[in-house]
Structure 1
Amino acid sequence: MPIKTVQIPTTDGRGDGFAAFPDGDGRHPGVLLYADAFGIRPALRELAGELAGHGYYVLVPNFFYRHGPTPVIALPEHIGEDARPALVERIMPLIKAHTADRILRDADAYLRFLTTQPEVSAGPVAVTGYCIGGLLAMRTAAAHPGQVAAVAGFHCPVDANERLLAKLTARVHLGHAESDLTPETLAELNRSLDAAGVNHTSEIYPGTVHGFTMADTDAFNSAALQRHWDRLLPLLGHSLTGD
């Protein structure tokens, strides 16, 4: 599966990232994929490559590019629980600096770049994300209701702001970690999605902790990763290709 490094023009400079897409000629539906807070690394390239293997052009930006190119912080090959607190301490200032204005400015740039690539077909796109990337995905979809047809977030914080949800026209799937919210909180979130008229599925993945899709962490759960594909691929197929 071809993977190429890209430089994405933004209002604040050039952001690095990569794109994964199918072999051969032809054009493919576009998917913007936001990484988790640990950023671009082999585990993300594997996820993007798997998705590209199903016929999508997948753009993965380094959304912390203002602080430097990938890798913004050095990561161990495996992010164990012993290493996690120190890494999170270094990442938190980057997250706090990634304001709502920056999120929306970057989303404009990422979608503009994605939709103008020669390998990307005309028509709507999808956005998916992990951890903080899921929050970025939801905000991107809300800001581009005519362009984003599907959005998914996994083990992510969810902004249940009524004004944001009211802007969503995309089909939504949210896959929550069991450790991240209670059934009562899930029910409250789903009532908010229903009240906003959002076409959605939103569920807790059994036996999971935060970060369950990430194969280079102690949180990884192979059954939950497969459940994530079982939800994500039909969402994209129905929304982007009519499958």
Structure 2
Amino acid sequence: MLIQSQISDIDTPSGLMRTQIVRPQQEGKFPTIIFYSEIFQLTAPIVRSAQILAGHGFVVLLPEVFHELNPYGTVLAYDDEGKDKGNADKFAKPLEQHDSDTQAMINFVQQQGYCNGEVGAMGVCIGGHLAFRAALNPAIKAAFCLYATDIHSNTLPCEGGNDSLSRCGDIKGELVMVFGKQDPHVPAEGRTLVRAGLEKQQVNFSWHEVNAVHAFMRDEGDRYDAALALRCYQMAVELFHNNLH
């Protein structure tokens, strides 16, 4: 399936959010995946992930997750300077602003003639957390969360009792969680805590722990595991085809 790309600035309560939209070229109405990036925003590997998904018949929205904190089009490098800036942004933006960003994108999708109104979420690293967080919204029918950080540790700013794990009982769609067993950002005890929380709330979820380090989906650098990445894309496409009609 051939794809196309465009840029839209979506109005949110905390300002305009530049969003790249990758979607099929052919006419029709397609389901939507909101794809949340790492702290580095819309890097080349993130855009390539969106292109893979769009080629399977999805409209993929790529928001600049820290749009309040950076000029439009800011992409951080995969180096120490970029990591420091991205981590500073991560701890500066409350989860409630991510919630309103998600709702703004859902509202946008409902107004587009090329969308069928069905919405899922996917993300990597903090984006995995934001996909999990998006699933608290009843409009999100499915979420695929890759090595989601900071859920177990409750370290992202939010109002008391509004952390993502405490609210996981609000998730009504199907959830898939994928973690690397060699990922130091989400250690074994952290994974156990998240899984126990989901089980306690009887969330509809599946759980995958693979032999991989953090960021194994990123097709730049020495962490990339192409075979595992292919498996994850296949699982994600199956999840969204099954849930977004």
The alignment's TM-score, normalised by the length of structure 2, stands at: 0.87
1:125 aligns with 2:125: no
1:178 aligns with 2:181: yes
RMSD: 1.7
* Equivalent of residue 224 in structure 1, options 225, 228, 238: 228
Give the 4+ runs in structure 1 shifted more than 3 A: 160-163, 181-188
**CA deviation vs aligned residue, 1:140-187 (integer Å, no higher than 9, x gap):** 111x12x11101110212525553111010100011022234555434
**1:34-73 matches, cutoff 5 A:** 34-66=36-68, 67-73=70-76
Match of 2:25 in 1: 23
Q: Please give the secondary structure, in 2, of the residue aligned with 1:16.
A: strand
1:155 aligns with 2:147: yes
CA distance in 1, matches of 2:62, 2:174: 21
Q: CA deviation at 1:63?
A: 1.3
8 Å Cα contact 2:19/2:62 also seen in 1: yes
1:197 aligns with 2:202: yes
Please identify, of 173-182 and 39-48, the stretch whose mean Cα deviation from structure 2 is larger: 173-182
The alignment's TM-score, normalised by the length of structure 1, stands at: 0.88
Can you give the 5+ residue segments of structure 2 that lack an aligned partner in the other structure? 153-163
Match of 1:5 in 2: 7
CA distance in 2, matches of 1:194, 1:54: 31
Between Structure 1 and Structure 2, the one with more helix by share is 1
Q: Please give the secondary structure, in 2, of the residue aligned with 1:197.
A: coil
Match of 1:113 in 2: 108
Aligned amino acid, residue 70 of structure 1: G
**Identical-pair percentage:** 21
Kindly tell me: are residues 234 and 158 of structure 1, through their superposed partners in 2, closer, same or farther at Cα, counting changes over 3 Å? farther
Match of 2:85 in 1: 90
CA distance in 2, matches of 1:218, 1:115: 40
Q: Please give the secondary structure, in 2, of the residue aligned with 1:169.
A: coil
CA distance in 2, matches of 1:189, 1:2: 37
Can you give the 5+ residue segments of structure 1 that lack an aligned partner in the other structure? none
How many residues were matched structurally?
A: 229
Match of 2:129 in 1: 135
CA distance in 1, matches of 2:94, 2:195: 26
Q: CA deviation at 1:231?
A: 1.6
Kindly tell me: are residues 2 and 113 of structure 1, through their superposed partners in 2, closer, same or farther at Cα, counting changes over 3 Å? same
Q: Please give the secondary structure, in 2, of the residue aligned with 1:220.
A: coil
Q: CA deviation at 1:24?
A: 1.4
